[in-house]
C-alpha cells in the first residue's frame, strides 16, 4: 500500500508542484497589481515611494533631496561611490521621517508662529546666536 502511495506522489507530484507555484505566482502578481490600483497598476508611474505615519512621500521630491545630500557630501570631500549614494538615501530618508513626524506633532499640539513673531526672531535684536553667526561677517 505505501509503495503505491509513493508511486502516485512521484507521478503526480510534479504536476501538483507546478500548479502550486503557478497559483502562488499569480497571487503575487495580483497583489502587486491591486496594491498599485491608485497608481494605475503596472504603469510604473508610482509617485509615492513610502508613507510615514500615513503621510505619502513623493518620489520626485525625495530624489531631489537625495541629490542635494549627495552633492553636499561630495563637497565635503567624500568620493563618489555606490556606498555614498546609499548613505545619502539613508540619511535623507531618516530626515524625511523626522520632518514629517515633527510637523505632525507640531500640528497636533497646535503650535503656530505668526509672521510678526517670525520677523522678530529673524530680524530682531534677540535673533538666535547661530543665525547671527551665519549671516554676519
Give 43-99 pLDDT, tens digit per residue.
445 688 889 999 999 999 999 999 999 999 999 999 999 999 999 999 999 999 999
Helices (H), 36-81: 59-75
Q: What is the pLDDT of residue 122?
A: 80
Dihedral angle computed from the Cα positions of residues 87, 90, 94 and 96, in that order, rounded to the nearest 10 degrees:
110
Spatial separation of the C-alpha atoms in residues 42 and 39, rounded to whole Å: 8
Residue 19 has pLDDT above 60, yes or no: yes
User: Residue 84 carries which DSSP code?
Assistant: H
Q: What is the pLDDT of residue 59?
A: 92
Of 42 and 16, which is predicted with more confidence?
Answer: 16
Element (H, E) at 101: helix 82-109
Amino acid at each position: 500500500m505505501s509503495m503505491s502511495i509513493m508511486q502516485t506522489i512521484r507521478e503526480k507530484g510534479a504536476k501538483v508542484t507546478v500548479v502550486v507555484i503557478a497559483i502562488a505566482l499569480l497571487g503575487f502578481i495580483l497583489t502587486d497589481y491591486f496594491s498599485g490600483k491608485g497608481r494605475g497598476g503596472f504603469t510604473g508611474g508610482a509617485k509615492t515611494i513610502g508613507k510615514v505615519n500615513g503621510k505619502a512621500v513623493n518620489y520626485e521630491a525625495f530624489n531631489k533631496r537625495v541629490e542635494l545630500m549627495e552633492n553636499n557630501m561630495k563637497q565635503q570631500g567624500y568620493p563618489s561611490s555606490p556606498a555614498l549614494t546609499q548613505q545619502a538615501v539613508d540619511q535623507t530618508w531618516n530626515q524625511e521621517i523626522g520632518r514629517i513626524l515633527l510637523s505632525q506633532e507640531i500640528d497636533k499640539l497646535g503650535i503656530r508662529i505668526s509672521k510678526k513673531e517670525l520677523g522678530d526672531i529673524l530680524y530682531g535684536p534677540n535673533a538666535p546666536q547661530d543665525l547671527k553667526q551665519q549671516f554676519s561677517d
